Amino acid sequence: PLGVGVAVGGWVDRDSGTVVEHPLLGWRDVPVRELVGARTGLPVHVDGHARALVDAERLFGRARGSRSLLHLFVGNVVDAAFATHDQVHHGPRSQAGAIAHLPLAGGTEPCDCGRTGCLQAELSERTLCRRARAAGLTDGTNPMHVVAAAADGDAVAVRLLLERARMTGRAAGLLLDVLNPESVVVTEVGAMFRADCLAALRAEVGAER
């Protein structure tokens, strides 16, 4: 039968269909499966977005056929997913891939947890946009405004995107050392739209290994 799939950031318990915690949205123990099912009358499957994306890459993307696949998602939320032998790893209560508070070497951004340089605090799009606002590039919270400014030749925008790509590469290198996957997919706005950012990310991964 027709069903509904919901993919969301934060800590998502797939088995119960609950968003256990999503600090940026202020969600805690939100019964998404129950709520969406009541509105639609349809079966609902809920999972973390990084795991949903790694499944999509495994089934339909260029990584199809890889025996092991890592996906690093760098948006407002920073998390990861890992699949091996056609199975996405979830762990108890689907907590696998919760990397937001892993320390990133060279990170300088204070985190709400009280430490400095946590992956999410350092790499999130919120941080990118805050730095862009401080530089007078934008007055908003849309990272595509930074990408557009870089495309128009703004040197500060280019620098911000390259710095973020390099730090993302550093994070990817850390996960590569731990998991040693056959294939890696990185979702990061600079690398998606700019060849120089993708090159910087790849170079940093190489330097880390």
Q: Where are the domains of the chain?
A: 4-208
Tell me the torsion sign for CA atoms 191, 174, 21, 87. Answer: positive
pLDDT value of residue 208: 63
DSSP 8-state secondary structure symbol assigned to residue 87: E
Res. 75: pLDDT tops 70: yes
pLDDT value of residue 135: 95
- Packed helices 155-179 and 143-151: angle between N→C axes, nearest 10 degrees: 120
Residues facing residue 13 across a β-bridge: 18
Question: Between the CA of residue 4 and those of 53, 57, 77, what are the distances in Å?
Answer: 16, 19, 23
For 88-121, write each residue's pLDDT tens digit: 998 888 888 889 999 999 999 999 999 999 999 9
Question: Between the CA of residue 83 and those of 5, 7, 62, 128, 184, what are the distances in Å?
Answer: 19, 17, 15, 29, 10
Per-residue pLDDT band for 63 (boundaries 50, 70, 90) equals confident
Res. 43: pLDDT tops 90: yes
Q: Which CATH superfamily is domain 4-208 in?
A: ATPase, nucleotide binding domain (3.30.420.40)
Give the residue-averaged pLDDT of 73-95. Answer: 89
pLDDT value of residue 173: 94
Question: Per this entry, what is the length of the chain?
Answer: 209
pTM summary value: 0.89
